[in-house]
Structure formats: structure tokens, C-alpha cells
Amino acid sequence: MTLLFSSKDVTVKFGGLVAVHALSVNIHAGRITGLIGPNGSGKTTFFNAITGLCPLTSGYIALDGKDISGLAPRAVYHVGITRTFQRSRLCLSLSVFDNVMVGRQNGLQFGLMENLVRRGRFRLDLVRHHERVAALLNAFSPDLANRIFHPLHSLNMIDRRRIEVCRALIAEPKLLLLDEPSAGMTPDETREFMDDILKVRENNPQMSIIIIEHEMEVMRRVAEHCIVLNHGRKVSEGTFEQIVRDPWVQEAYLGEA
């Protein structure tokens, strides 16, 4: 199995607070990895470090064997890492199409003269982008694809979460980071959405996914490998069946000593 992503002794400090401590992980191509831990265990901070939203105090991060530590968020996007956020960053007044295309800014021509003079190219680009967005939406739901120009506020929670994933996927990433994507959903919606995530992996067999989730049943279902954090440290790693036998994980998540 090909190694896609690695971190070595990654540490992130905020003043005297150590949010992530000497974290080393390896992520292989085509694998869904679950990142588990209580609130405040460093999961989202690790995502922020990967995507350039907060600086590393020490350690390094590599994609395809190349050090990407210290890259700005836009540069991280260009090398092939995209993400979603636990708190939605969608614009409810814009259309579904517009929200998804936010994730493809590097493929858009913003120049006024470019778009006024080269109208034929502008129309071709618009058709091409429309086809790409529609294909992404259709992979989740044909009904969602039919609502491509509807305002986002008309969609329910699960469809909004699907839009967030599509916005991350339109850049054709090598590594997709999902930060609690089922937040705010009902159990039935969560099960349906996890079917979507498995479908995304099936349609993109070389893309790796790291997913943060608190629901252990979600991890049991989708994660081929799990990493457990506590106080910024890795405390357990392995398959779901292996980590649930860990006494600390049992106590923290299953209520058993």
C-alpha cells in the first residue's frame, strides 16, 4: 500500500498550552482513517496544522514524500489537500453551484477584460464547470443535482453537508479531511451520509480520507484504520476492532473499566 501522507513528531503550542504533542501518523493512499478523541484532544488542531491554518511548533508534515510544513492554506490546497469544517462555512444566500465553485477558485478567470472580450471561452468554461458540479452532486443525489441553481438556504442539513463535501472534492484532492461531517444530523441522516462517504471513496479509489467523528458506530462502519488522541497525544492506533479492546478507549467511549 502506497504511503501518501505522514507527520513526524508534530507539536502545536498556543502559549503554554500543548494542543498537539509529538504526533506521528502515516496515511496510505485509498484508505479511510478515523481520528478519534474527546473534545480538546487536538483533532481539529491537527487538521488546522495540516492545512496551514496554524503553525507547527516543531515536527514536519509530508505529502507524497515532500515536506509541506509551513505552507500557507492556499499552497496546501494546490498540493492536493482539502477539507470540511465542523461549523458550516457555506453561504446560504448563494446557489448550490456557487457554493461548490468556491472550492475551485484556482480554475476560474476573474479578470474583467478576460471575461468581456473572450465571451466564447467564458461560455465554454461555464458549461464545463456546470457539468463538473452536476456530476459531483449527482453522485450524492440526482435530486440535489436538479437543484444546482437553488439557493442553499432551501436545502436541509444533510444536503448542506453534501455540498460541503462536493466543494472539497471539486479540487480533486489527494487527501480529504472531514471534520465531524455528521454534526447536526439525525441518526438516520448520519447513516445515509456515511453511505455517501463510502461512495465517494469508491468513486475516488486513490484518494485518502481522514474523518473526525465521535460516534463509534460511524467509525466501525467507515474507518479501515483508527487513530485515538487524548491531550494531543496518540494513545491508540489500529483497526476499529483493535482500538475498542484498548482499556482507555473502552473507558472513554464505552463506559467500561
| pLDDT, average across residues 64-89 | 94
Pick from 68, 71, 84, 73: nearest CA to 6? 68
Fold annotation for 1-80+173-257: Rossmann fold (3.40.50)
Q: Render 136-184 in DSSP notation, one character per residue.
A: HHHHH-HHHHHTTTSBGGGS-HHHHHHHHHHHHHTT--SEEEEESTTTT
> Which is it for strands 66-67 and 58-63: parallel, antiparallel or unpaired?
antiparallel
The CA distance from 159 to 151, in Å, is 12
Encode pLDDT of 191-247 as tens digits.
999 999 999 999 999 999 999 988 888 899 999 999 999 999 999 999 999 998 888
Q: Pinpoint the residues of the chain covered by CATH 3.40.50.300.
A: 1-80+173-257
| pLDDT, average across residues 168-189 | 93
Encode pLDDT of 97-149 as tens digits.
999 998 876 555 555 655 566 666 667 877 888 999 999 999 998 999 999 99
pLDDT given for residue 115 in this prediction: 58
Pick from 180, 205, 204: nearest CA to 194? 180
pLDDT given for residue 257 in this prediction: 45
Answer with the residue of higher pLDDT: 82 or 115: 82
Encode pLDDT of 50-60 as tens digits.
999 999 999 99
The CA distance from 43 to 37, in Å, is 7
